[in-house]
Amino acid sequence: MSQVNRDEVRAGAIDAIEAAREAILGVGDAIHAHPEIGLEERYAADLLTSTIGNFGFEVEQGSGGLETAFRASRTGRGAGPRIAFLAEYDALPGLGHGCGHNLIASSNLAAAIGLGAVIDRLDGEVLFVGTPAEENAGGKAIMIENGAFRDIDVSLSSHHGGHETILPTAYPDGTCLAVSSRRFVYHGRTAHAAADPEQGINALNAVIHLFTGIDAMRQHVTPDARMHGIITDGGTAANVVPDLAAAEFLFRAASREAVDDLVARAEDVARGAAMMTGARLEIEAPSPDYDDMLPNYVLSQLVRDELAGVGLAETERPPASGPGAYSTDLGNVSRTMPTTALVFPISEVPINGHSREVVSGSISPMGRENALRTGKALALAAIELLIDAEAYRRVQAEFGQGSSAVAP
Ligand SMILES: [Zn+2]
């Protein structure tokens, strides 16, 4: 790359974000005021694409086969790394923005505007990618499957962290659980439960055997495993043998392989329950598989280097001893390219995830300002990646080594 004035480029990005401050924060506020659940985020997708379009980005709607997904891009002066900032904007049913995804939207919008303003002085490309339905349908998993991430080299994103500012430091910090969903539907035969029970096939009995079988599995799984389910259909009247009963489960563990093993065993249990009762079994996967997150620690360090300059201070905490007991479709992205997320504070005090406190933190002066700071840190880290070929090489080298190099 020919000479780049690093300080000028960095200052240009920060100035652009500050100049767009009202627009950026207005987008986060508006999405907060119009909560939409996953795959229905039409208002948010329209607002984000029209806004980024005003900043010289070329916009593609409906990316990766999802109506409310999008990709916006601006190319630099020459070929180079293609860096994506990933927005989320789905809400939780009945709660609104109880996971603060409106601020994931505004912080990554800020980063895209910042880098976009200076990309013509750099070799590479900036992408702003809208990834729907993190909570309920694994939008990123579907988009990856459909090729929407195929030409991207590095992904950066963000998430609120309650009262904490966090970047993953070293394995297993920042890792989380892979998850798969299964819906088990049993079909039986109705009959009068007292007059001719011998004629009935009780689908609810099959679901009950399914639950006791999975509970028995719990004795023989690793401590990271989580298996939790609900009965969605269990009959309609006590005097009718239920001919339809169904349950939905989530299976989680620290690796994709371990989850696949849990699911295979649970499906055997489900088939056993069908045989025990004579009910017919159908197995469905309501949402795509989420992979366990493998953050890129070199990339995280590049973002960490920017924290103090934008006014964020990393929270002191003990080293992680294992994966976080949650799941995210950012994990799928982290398995296809170097990825990290900056976790930023929206509250002075600890708060629960998926709570009313997150709803108010995501519209608070502190949450909004920290989203903007997060956008600045992500933009500056991306600039370093585009200027410093050696840093980019180290990021890709760590990704190339994969989890085998860092897993114990
Ligand atoms: Zn979330």
231 lies in some domain:
yes
Q: Are residue 23 and residue 143 in the same domain, yes or no?
A: yes
Rounded distance from Cα 280 to ligand 1 centre (Å): 37
Tell me the C-alpha to C-alpha distance, in Å, between residue 137 and each of 141, 174, 288: 9, 22, 7
Q: What is the pLDDT of residue 1?
A: 54
Please check the confidence at residue 407 and state whether its pLDDT lies above 70. no
Query: d(Cα 361, Cα 358) in Å, to the nearest integer?
Result: 5
Range in 118-122, 193-197, 321-325, 378-382 with the lowest mean pLDDT: 321-325
**Amino acid (one-letter) located at 115:** L
Q: How many CB atoms lie within 10 A of CB 80?
A: 20
Average confidence (pLDDT) over 326-347: 97
146-202 per-position pLDDT tens digit: 999 999 999 999 999 999 999 999 999 999 999 999 999 999 999 999 999 999 999
Rounded distance from Cα 159 to ligand 1 centre (Å): 6
353 lies in some domain:
yes
Q: Are residue 32 and residue 168 in the same domain, yes or no?
A: yes
Please check the confidence at residue 2 and state whether its pLDDT lies above 80. no
CA 155, 345, 40, 31 torsion: positive or negative? negative
Rounded distance from Cα 101 to ligand 1 centre (Å): 6
Q: State the chain's mean pLDDT as an integer.
A: 96
Rounded distance from Cα 349 to ligand 1 centre (Å): 18
**For the chain, what is the domain count?**
2
Length of the chain: 408
Domain edge (last residue) among 284, 318, 347? 284
Alpha-carbon 272 to chain mean position:
34
Range in 31-45, 90-104, 360-374, 392-406 with the lowest mean pLDDT: 392-406
Domain edge (last residue) among 284, 308, 327? 284
Rounded distance from Cα 100 to ligand 1 centre (Å): 7
232 lies in some domain:
yes
Q: Are residue 19 and residue 152 in the same domain, yes or no?
A: yes
Q: Are residue 44 and residue 135 in the same domain, yes or no?
A: yes
Q: What is the pLDDT of residue 401?
A: 87
Share of the chain above pLDDT 90, in %: 97
Q: Are residue 319 and residue 191 in the same domain, yes or no?
A: no
Q: Does residue 229 contact residue 214 with C-beta atoms inside 8 Å?
A: yes
55-87 per-position pLDDT tens digit: 999 999 999 999 999 999 999 999 999 999 999
128-144 per-position pLDDT tens digit: 999 999 999 999 999 99
Q: Angle at the Cα of 318 (from 314 to 319), degrees rounded to 5?
A: 95
42 lies in some domain:
yes
Write out the DSSP string of 157-223: EEEE-TT--B---STTTT-B-EEEEEEEEEE-B--BTTTSGGG-B-HHHHHHHHHHHHHHHGGGS-T
| CATH number of the domain residue 56 falls in | 3.40.630.10
Q: Are residue 264 and residue 389 in the same domain, yes or no?
A: no
Q: Does residue 7 contact residue 119 with C-beta atoms inside 8 Å?
A: no
Domain that holds residue 260: 178-284
* Reported confidence tier of residue 397, pLDDT bands at 50, 70, 90: very high
Q: Does residue 34 contact residue 92 with C-beta atoms inside 8 Å?
A: no
Q: Are residue 187 and residue 227 in the same domain, yes or no?
A: yes
In the numeric block, the tokens 């096939």 are attached to 201
From its phi and psi, is residue 250 left (phi > 0), alpha (psi between -120 and 50) or beta?
beta
Whether cis (ω within 30° of 0) applies to the bond prior to 350 is: no
The secondary structure of the chain in percent helix, strand, coil, rounded to multiples of 5, reads 45, 20, 35
Rounded distance from Cα 293 to ligand 1 centre (Å): 14
Rounded distance from Cα 57 to ligand 1 centre (Å): 26
Share of the chain above pLDDT 70, in %: 98
Q: Are residue 165 and residue 197 in the same domain, yes or no?
A: no
Closest CA to 186 of 173, 202, 200: 202
Q: Are residue 138 and residue 191 in the same domain, yes or no?
A: no
293-309 per-position pLDDT tens digit: 999 999 999 999 999 99
Q: Are residue 116 and residue 230 in the same domain, yes or no?
A: no
Q: What is the pLDDT of residue 3?
A: 79
333 lies in some domain:
yes
Rounded distance from Cα 136 to ligand 1 centre (Å): 11
Q: Are residue 231 and residue 351 in the same domain, yes or no?
A: no
Q: What is the pLDDT of residue 404?
A: 45
Task: Find all residues with CB under 8 Å of 181, minimum gap 6, and list them.
Answer: 248, 249, 250, 251, 285, 286, 287
Please check the confidence at residue 408 and state whether its pLDDT lies above 80. no
Query: d(Cα 201, Cα 191) in Å, to the nearest integer?
Result: 8
Average confidence (pLDDT) over 218-233: 97
Average confidence (pLDDT) over 76-104: 97
1 lies in some domain:
no
Rounded distance from Cα 99 to ligand 1 centre (Å): 5
Domain edge (last residue) among 225, 251, 284? 284
* Reported confidence tier of residue 405, pLDDT bands at 50, 70, 90: very low
Rounded distance from Cα 171 to ligand 1 centre (Å): 22
| CATH number of the domain residue 251 falls in | 3.30.70.360
**Amino acid (one-letter) located at 344:** F
Q: Are residue 278 and residue 183 in the same domain, yes or no?
A: yes
